[in-house]
Amino acid sequence: MDIVAMDTAGRIPRLQALLPAAGCDGLVISQLSNIRYLTGFTGSAAIVLVTADEAVLVTDGRYDSQSAEELSRARVTARIEVGLPPVQEKVLEEAAIGLRRIGLEAGSVSWARQRHLAADVFVRAELVATDGLVESLRLVKDEGELGAMRTAAAIADAALARVRPQLVAGIAEVEVANTLDFEMRTLGATRSSFETIVASGPNGAKPHARPSRRLLERGELVVMDFGAVFDGYCSDMTRTLCIGEPASAALGRMVEVVRASQAAGLASVRAGVAASEVDSACRTVIAEAGWSDAFVHGTGHGVGLDIHEGPRVGPTSDATLLANSVITVEPGVYLPDHGGVRIEDTVVVTAEGCRPLTTSPKDLMV
């Protein structure tokens, strides 16, 4: 597959075009995923100030050469200044001269940080809260981003294919999780998208159970939720498996209902559709089976540089799905007396429907 470059260089100009409508002369970006999105910089410490005329990235000496290399590689035009925090703040103060209103990312700036910036850095400007300016750009993925996510999903698929034959009675949940993580790294992942979930038997009734020393048993359900990161972008997938035949008819029915629920949700995905409609499609199937109270979370979420980002796919979401957004569809049923079932895929929203990125078989038995 040909590798398509991401259009990182075009992102700051698109953000600059949003500033007037947001009532800002400039925007301070402190959320690291947003900084990476705008500039290609992957370090752990930086601030970016975007004005109508320029972008300034400040960081510390650990990232002197890295920042220059990464912005050059991404073909991003920005001024880079390196120094200790007092030097960085002086650079930002001088770059903000003449600005009347400067936006802060409300979701990632603490009250104490806002007070410091107002009193000691941007003393001549009014600081205003902004919400989701960069995130609105991140909703729609370019071909380079989709390529990275396809690779991340393929890595996760291949890792599960390697691990699936190793699922036998007597192996511990944590051993399975560790093996999955190892295989994803071996196959090219930078890291796992999040802490891998392997939850067997009654543990499966906890949607975000942590892998334990509990041993897998024949006939019980095993929920496996995991993902890989490639070039900064995440994948997310859940499969529910069983060693041998399910021990009860109830377990088999749980799987059938969730499988039908997910199919209904996937069939409803399309650009222009309300995200809440996808949730409703999944939730209706589970409610008709008598388990509405056992579906205890939203149907899905956006995926990208962060494992959880917009749009939210749930009953109260006000988002409308956009072409080339990437979301998950992951209904579940959780019954403490039986265990849990969740089936999840990461998909690209298209004008006609959706295109799956995760493609592992959904066969129950191993």
Is the previous residue joined to 20 through a cis bond, with omega within 30 degrees of 0?
Answer: no
Q: Residue ranges of the domains in the chain?
A: 8-138, 143-356
Task: Please report, to the nearest 10 degrees, the dihedral formed by the alpha carbons of residues 73, 84, 52, 325 taken in order.
Answer: 50
Contacts of 65 (CB under 8 A, 6+ apart): none
pLDDT reported for residue 1:
45
A 10 A CB-CB count for 153 gives 28
pLDDT along the chain (366 residues), means of 10: 80 98 97 98 98 97 98 97 97 97 96 96 96 97 98 98 96 98 98 98 97 98 98 98 96 97 98 98 98 98 98 98 98 97 98 98 92
Helical axes 32-39 vs 11-22, angle rounded to 10°? 120
CA distance to 27, 72, 120, 125, 173, per residue, from 79 (Å):
15, 11, 22, 21, 49
pLDDT reported for residue 192:
98
Residues 176, 309: Cα–Cα separation, whole Å: 27
Q: Kindly list the strands in the beta sheet with 354-356, ordered across the sheet, starting from the edge strand earlier in the chain.
A: 309-313, 300-302, 326-329, 345-349, 354-356
CATH hierarchy code of domain 8-138: 3.40.350.10
Residues 269, 279: Cα–Cα separation, whole Å: 10
Task: Please report, to the nearest 10 degrees, the dihedral formed by the alpha carbons of residues 210, 235, 152, 157 taken in order.
Answer: 70
Q: Which CATH number fits domain 143-356: 3.30.1490.20, 3.90.230.10, 3.40.50.880, 3.40.50.1100?
A: 3.90.230.10
CA distance to 18, 26, 194, per residue, from 41 (Å):
22, 20, 21
Contacts of 78 (CB under 8 A, 6+ apart): 12, 39, 48, 54, 55, 56, 57, 71
Element (H, E) at 346: strand 345-349
Residues 98, 138: Cα–Cα separation, whole Å: 29
Sign of the Cα pseudo-torsion (104, 106, 109, 113, in order):
positive
pLDDT reported for residue 5:
86
